[in-house]
Amino acid sequence: AQSVTQLDSHVSVSEGTPVLLRCNYSSSYSPSLFWYVQHPNKGLQLLLKYTSAATLVKGINGFEAEFKKSETSFHLTKPSAHMSDAAEYFCVVSTTGNQFYFGTGTSLTVIP
C-alpha cells in the first residue's frame, strides 16, 4: 500500500522568505516521489522527482526536495519565495510507474 500525507493544507509566506511544504509518505517498496505544481485553472506541471538516485533533488524554478528514508519524508523547499510561486502543490508517491497516489495538496500564498 502507498500513500502520502501533506501536513499543511495552506501555507502563507512573505515574498523573499523561504518556503517549506511538508510531505510524508508510506510505501511497502522503494518509492519514487514527485512534486507537482498546479496554478489556478491550469493543469499539473512536474517540479521534481526522486527515483532512487541522489537524495537531494533539484527541480525547476529554484525548488528542491530531500528524500529522508528514516523520516519517510520528502519536503519541498525554496530559499526565496516569488509571487509567481503562489499555487497548489501536490506530493505524489509511486512504486510501479503506472499508478500515482496524490496527497491532498498544499495551497501556497505569497504575500507581497
Partner 1 sequence: NAGVTQTPKFQVLKTGQSMTLQCAQDMNHEYMSWYRQDPGMGLRLIHYSVGAGITDQGEVPNGYNVSRSTTEDFPLRLLSAAPSQTSVYFCASSRRGGGRNNYGYTFGSGTRLTVV
Measured in whole angstroms, how far is the alpha carbon of residue 83 from the centre of its chain?
A: 18
Among 85, 74, 79, residue whose Cα is nearest residue 111: 85
Q: What residues have CB less than 8 Å from 29, skipping those under 6 apart?
A: 95
Q: Which is nearer to partner 1, 13 or 47 (CB)?
A: 47
Least CB distance from residue 112 to partner 1, whole Å? 26
Buried b (16+ CB within 10 A) or exposed e, 15-39: eeeebebbbbbebeeebbbbbbbee
In the complex, the residues that contact partner 1 under the rule CB under 8 A are: 9, 30, 32, 34, 36, 42-46, 49, 51-53, 90, 94-105
Q: Which is nearer to partner 1, 72 or 100 (CB)?
A: 100
Q: Which is nearer to partner 1, 18 or 39 (CB)?
A: 39
Least CB distance from residue 71 to partner 1, whole Å? 21
Grid cell at residue 109: 500564498
Least CB distance from residue 3 to partner 1, whole Å? 11
Least CB distance from residue 16 to partner 1, whole Å? 29
Q: Which is nearer to partner 1, 66 or 88 (CB)?
A: 88
